[in-house]
Amino acid sequence: HQLHRSKKMDFIEQFNEKLLVKQEHESLHIIDIRTGERTEVASSHFLTPSAFIFLYENQLFLTFRQRNVSVWNFRGEKVTTFEDHTLWHPDSNTNNIYITSQQDLIISYCQQADGEAVGSINVSSILDGSCLARIRPKAGDAEQLLALEDVTALFYNEDRNEIYTGNKDGKVHIWSNETAPPRPRAPPKGKAAMGAQRGEGSGSS
């Protein structure tokens, strides 16, 4: 693969037999290391992300840039547009993001569509981008409002069907089965790999 010697290397990532190479202001190159086949994606179409998550089971990868999440295949095509999944934090901190074991759902701390001062926990389909559930504070519920203010960590317990969130005040909140997404349809399988760079309901704390 011919590189531009005067251009900074933005990233090199390998997912199974696929090598992703991108230099500053240059196209993304997806190279099959077994066959040498190369796919080029224009820099205007693929902007350098701050983080990756590779989905082994689906042969897709997620990219995070500022507050936006995108899903790509290894032909360099963006395959999913999310209905409502704009991340709260602009630095794409993956501590606030959970991918289920079946790699079909993404759960994140997001901005609310109506521009509220606190975020919501959004559950979206990775495969079609639809928003399946949101956890938002009930009107007038000060405890829930504080629980969803500046969430800094998030985890989904797939066995118990509970979402755990932690915020800047050092508190952990547990969101019950009624507010969490449906249980996985089959026993957990596979895994997701991190890149090198690293409705409404009630809750309790």
Tokens representing 179 are 């507010």
The whole-angstrom separation of Cα 14 and Cα 16 is 6
The whole-angstrom separation of Cα 154 and Cα 55 is 19
Give me the half-sphere count of Cα atoms (radius 13 Å) on the Cβ side of residue 196.
8
**Size of the chain, expressed as the number of residues it contains:** 205
Give the pLDDT band (50/70/90) at residue 90. confident
At residue 71, does pLDDT exceed 60? yes
The whole-angstrom separation of Cα 39 and Cα 31 is 6
How many CB atoms are located within 10 Å of the residue 109 CB?
Answer: 26
At residue 173, does pLDDT exceed 90? yes
Give the pLDDT band (50/70/90) at residue 158. very high
What's the pLDDT at 201? 37
> 179-204: per-residue pLDDT in tens?
444 443 333 333 333 333 323 333 44
What's the pLDDT at 22? 95
Starting at the edge strand found earlier in the chain, the sheet holding 18-23 runs 9-15, 18-23, 28-32, 38-41
Per the listing, tokens 């936006």 go with 68
Give the pLDDT band (50/70/90) at residue 2. low
> 102-140: per-residue pLDDT in tens?
999 999 999 997 778 899 999 999 999 999 999 999 888
If DSSP states are collapsed to H, E and C, what string results for the chain? CCCCCCCCEEEEEEECCEEEEEECCCCEEEEECCCCCEEEECCCCCCCCCEEEEECCCCEEEEEECCEEEEEECCCCEEECCCCCCECCCCCCHHHEEECCCCCEEEEEECCCCCCCCCEEEEEECCCCCEEEEECCCCCCHHHHHHCCCEEEEEEECCCCEEEEEECCCCEEEECCCCCCCCCCCCCCCCEEECCCCCCCCEEC
- What's the predicted TM-score (pTM) here? 0.81
Q: What is the mean pLDDT of residues 133-149?
A: 91
